[in-house]
């Protein structure tokens, strides 16, 4: 029996988070068929053992649908939380004095434990402390080695173990906790494709994760701290991909500051040739409703127009009532936007100047030639995926078919704009390269008899990073029949 091959008609990727509402093999398959190109496994929830079957279910889709699957393991990162209260919760009044200290005794309306030594050393008078996703705001008046004295600027109810954000200070904290190191080792053992590092503040935060990954997965930096914006370009240069994590970013910054920063992060990542994901609350109302608000649709569409590589669902697909419908809506929005005649102009509004390399020059040329000769697809042969990333950075108006002998590369490219990756045997000669390109274009429905396709590769073959060939060929139409 011939397996069916799934190929998306849109260029932007859809990343779906798995959770209680969607972590069974049946639901994972439904999300895939609805449009999910990649799956996020959130290491913040559940134990490692429960994720083994989830990962296996994702991989099972490969044989069933003839397409490499993509898995991103999202590390929790250093979560800052206050301690517990004697009564479980307290009311903090506006203008009151409230103390955070190192005393583990259950707190009251005047004080509570803060079990994070690093904050006491770094905080300064005037700094804000945000509690419970920014619902309560404290302003530091004074601090001692074991006490931080604050004024309550925005009061409210504060209960046990609520989260704490420190937006005005770069904290001297390692980006990886002991839990993260354990989860990272587990994820590598399970052969996931991407590792997302939470709460990146500076380029140095990426070093330990990169070392522990050891080249066995791609590294994605989550931009969710204001401090990261100050060194954004350095961070993007040192990672393999970027996520605009608007949740905590929106807590630590005024809401109106997030949209321009989102555009800046997307533009920086695109300019430097790194896949970029826009995430958090994209279709938030679909957690409970079968349809989104018009504002949410517009929000997703904006990310697509800006040229983001992927748009992500969080609770909508992980814990909501309508996970399949949420993925289908993302798919529909992306498809609709890309059919807009103005989409191409808008998505290429970001200027992506090629680096002074042969590979970059050929990638830019491939996009221009495709328009001139009305080619139907760009086909690139790659081992590491770098050629595909260079072409995708140009945002060509036609599909990108990526042929690679490395399954790991094919899987990682599931996060890349427009890439349809195929795991296939490598070629040994120019003639074989041309013949295989034609067959693959026909087999995957990218071209028909009389169409032109553009081929990119490196000669000598099997040499990573040697892209130096651009070739335009015409499809006859009988290439599949003549191949045995």
Residues 55, 61, 66, 69: is their CA dihedral positive or negative? Answer: negative
Give the whole-number percent of the chain exceeding pLDDT 70: 98
Give me the catalytic one of 8, 10, 13, 40: 40
Give me the catalytic one of 222, 225, 390, 412: 222
4 pLDDT band (50/70/90 cuts)?
A: low
Q: What is the number of residues in the chain?
A: 484
Question: Rounded mean pLDDT of the chain?
Answer: 93
Residue 5: pLDDT above 90? no
CB 99 within 8 A of CB 149: yes
Q: DSSP E strands: which ranges in 67-192?
A: 71-74, 89-92, 97-101, 111-113, 128-131, 136-144, 147-154, 156-159, 164-165
- C-alpha 324/C-alpha 32 separation (Å) is 9
Specify the pLDDT at position 402: 97
Residue 1: pLDDT above 50? no
> How confident is the model over 273-311, as pLDDT tens digits?
999 999 999 999 999 999 999 999 999 999 999 999 999
Q: Is 390 one of the annotated active-site residues of the chain?
A: no
Specify the pLDDT at position 351: 79
Q: Report residue 399: phi and psi, to 5°.
A: -60, 155
- C-alpha 399/C-alpha 245 separation (Å) is 28
Residues 336, 337, 338, 343: is their CA dihedral positive or negative? Answer: positive
> How confident is the model over 21-59, as pLDDT tens digits?
999 999 999 999 999 999 999 999 889 999 999 999 999
> How confident is the model over 150-184, as pLDDT tens digits?
999 999 999 999 999 998 888 888 889 999 999 99
- C-alpha 132/C-alpha 148 separation (Å) is 18
Specify the pLDDT at position 482: 64
Mean pLDDT of 392-403: 94
Going from the C-alpha of 248 to that of each of 114, 167, 171, 280, 341, the distances in angstroms are: 19, 10, 15, 9, 35
Range from 82-86, 124-128, 372-376, 465-469 carrying the lowest mean pLDDT: 465-469
Give me the catalytic one of 81, 139, 443, 452: 81
Going from the C-alpha of 395 to that of each of 138, 346, 379, the distances in angstroms are: 45, 11, 14
Q: Is 222 one of the annotated active-site residues of the chain?
A: yes
CA 474 to chain centre: 36
- C-alpha 418/C-alpha 378 separation (Å) is 10
Specify the pLDDT at position 133: 87
- C-alpha 109/C-alpha 94 separation (Å) is 12
- C-alpha 39/C-alpha 25 separation (Å) is 13
Q: Is 280 one of the annotated active-site residues of the chain?
A: yes
Mean pLDDT of 60-77: 95
Mean pLDDT of 247-273: 92
- C-alpha 52/C-alpha 458 separation (Å) is 38
CB atoms within 10 A of CB 465: 12
Mean pLDDT of 416-421: 96
Specify the pLDDT at position 2: 43
Q: Is 81 one of the annotated active-site residues of the chain?
A: yes
CB 85 within 8 A of CB 72: no
Lookup: tokens for 463: 């040499």
Give the whole-number percent of the chain exceeding pLDDT 90: 83
């Amino acid at each position: 029996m011939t397996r069916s091959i799934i190929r998306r008609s849109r260029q932007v990727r859809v990343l779906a988070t798995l959770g209680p509402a969607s972590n069974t093999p049946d639901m994972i398959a439904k999300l895939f068929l609805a449009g999910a190109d990649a799956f996020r496994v959130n290491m913040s929830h559940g134990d490692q053992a429960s994720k083994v079957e989830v990962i296996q279910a994702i991989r099972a889709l490969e044989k069933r649908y003839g397409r490499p699957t993509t898995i991103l393991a999202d590390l929790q990162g250093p979560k800052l939380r206050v301690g517990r209260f004697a009564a479980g919760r307290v009311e903090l009044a506006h203008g009151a004095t409230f103390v955070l200290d190192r005393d583990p005794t259950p707190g009251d309306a005047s004080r509570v434990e803060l079990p994070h030594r690093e904050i006491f050393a770094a905080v300064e008078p005037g700094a804000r402390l945000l509690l419970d996703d920014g619902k309560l705001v404290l302003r530091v008046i004074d601090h001692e080695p074991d006490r931080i004295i604050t004024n309550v600027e925005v009061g409210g109810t504060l209960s046990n173990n609520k989260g704490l954000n420190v937006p005005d200070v770069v904290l001297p904290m390692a980006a990886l906790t002991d839990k993260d190191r354990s989860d990272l080792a587990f994820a590598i053992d399970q052969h996931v494709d991407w590792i997302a590092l939470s709460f990146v503040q500076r380029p140095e935060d990426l070093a330990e994760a990169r070392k522990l990954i050891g080249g066995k997965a791609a590294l994605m930096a989550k931009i969710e701290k204001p401090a990261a914006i100050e060194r954004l370009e350095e961070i993007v240069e040192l990672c393999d991909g970027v996520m605009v994590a608007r949740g905590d970013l929106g807590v630590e910054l005024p809401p109106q500051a997030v949209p321009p920063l989102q555009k800046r992060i997307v533009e920086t990542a695109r300019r430097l040739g790194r896949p970029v994901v826009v995430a958090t609350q994209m279709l938030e109302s679909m957690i409970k409703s079968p349809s989104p608000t018009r504002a949410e649709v517009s929000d997703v569409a904006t990310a697509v127009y800006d040229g983001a590589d992927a748009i992500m669902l969080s609770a909508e697909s992980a814990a909501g009532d309508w996970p399949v419908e949420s993925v289908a809506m993302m798919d529909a929005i992306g498809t609709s936007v890309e059919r807009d005649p103005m989409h191409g102009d808008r998505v290429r509004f970001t200027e992506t100047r090629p680096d002074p390399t042969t590979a970059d020059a050929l990638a830019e040329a491939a996009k221009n030639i495709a328009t001139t000769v009305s080619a139907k697809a760009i086909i690139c042969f790659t081992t590491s995926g770098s050629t595909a990333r260079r072409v995708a950075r140009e945002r060509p108006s036609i599909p990108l078919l990526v042929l690679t002998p490395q399954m790991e590369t094919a899987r990682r490219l599931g996060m890349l704009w427009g890439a349809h990756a195929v795991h296939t045997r490598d070629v040994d000669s120019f003639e074989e390269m041309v013949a295989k390109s034609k067959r693959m274009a026909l087999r995957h429905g990218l071209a028909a008899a009389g169409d032109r396709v553009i081929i990119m590769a490196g000669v000598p073959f099997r040499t990573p990073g040697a892209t130096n060939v651009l070739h335009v060929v015409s499809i006859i139409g009988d290439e599949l029949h003549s191949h045995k």
